Chain A
């Protein structure tokens, strides 16, 4: 069965610190997609990244970087030099490739609440 685990429920850091949010997933499928979303207090989901199972290259986007390791089924997210505006709940999610090519739903982890203090 597919599952996403975000073991860190809450993290608190001081501005300018680096912080890594962990994500471990389980799936039997060889083709799948992994996502990270940010959910600020207003509630909307902000898409951050999508990575397919065949692309293990790490990605960097400004202060954000992602480390995808299939060997450990992990897709960790690092924020460098954190800012107060980074305070939010971050969700890791998994989508499997369903039979016939139809898109499955997203399976979310429980989320990690990040608080960045000035």
Chain B
């Protein structure tokens, strides 16, 4: 079946540094990638939607200059948290739409980010 590899699974970084999270579709082409954030004991909230080769669309309240999304190819999308602060500590998870698979969502395994 479709697999999305997400790395790293856990990362601890210092306040003010940047962290890059990668989601790679291993056996299919992901035309659309959704990025979600989940705070402890809360639901998954959509941050942004990216389509291959175009700029990401951010949800209201999500700073596009802080959360940089790149979807340069059909198999790779990245989320970079720039100048991370402790309040950015969260669980980040990507979800890819497979080309030609209607309403098929494939999730990465998630990245637990801790900013100290």
What residues make up the interface of A, taking CB atoms closer than 8 Å to B?
Answer: 33, 35, 42-45, 47, 50, 52, 91, 95, 103, 105-111
Range class of the B interface residue count:
10 to 19
Known A45-B93, A45-B107, A103-B97; contact A110-B49, beta-carbon cutoff 8 A? no
Which residues from B are CB-within-8-Å of A35?
105
Give the CA-CA distance A106 to B44 in the complex, in Å. 9
Tell whether, in the assembled complex, residue A103 and residue B44 are in contact, meaning their CB atoms are under 8 Å apart: no
Tell whether, in the assembled complex, residue A91 and residue B32 are in contact, meaning their CB atoms are under 8 Å apart: no
Indicate if B42 sits at the interface (CB-CB under 8 A). Answer: yes
Indicate if B71 sits at the interface (CB-CB under 8 A). Answer: no
Indicate if B46 sits at the interface (CB-CB under 8 A). Answer: yes
Bits for B81-116, please: 1 = Cβ < 8 Å to A, else 0: 000000000010101010000110101011010000
Tell whether, in the assembled complex, residue A105 and residue B103 are in contact, meaning their CB atoms are under 8 Å apart: no
Bits for B43-82, please: 1 = Cβ < 8 Å to A, else 0: 1111001000000000000000000000000000000000
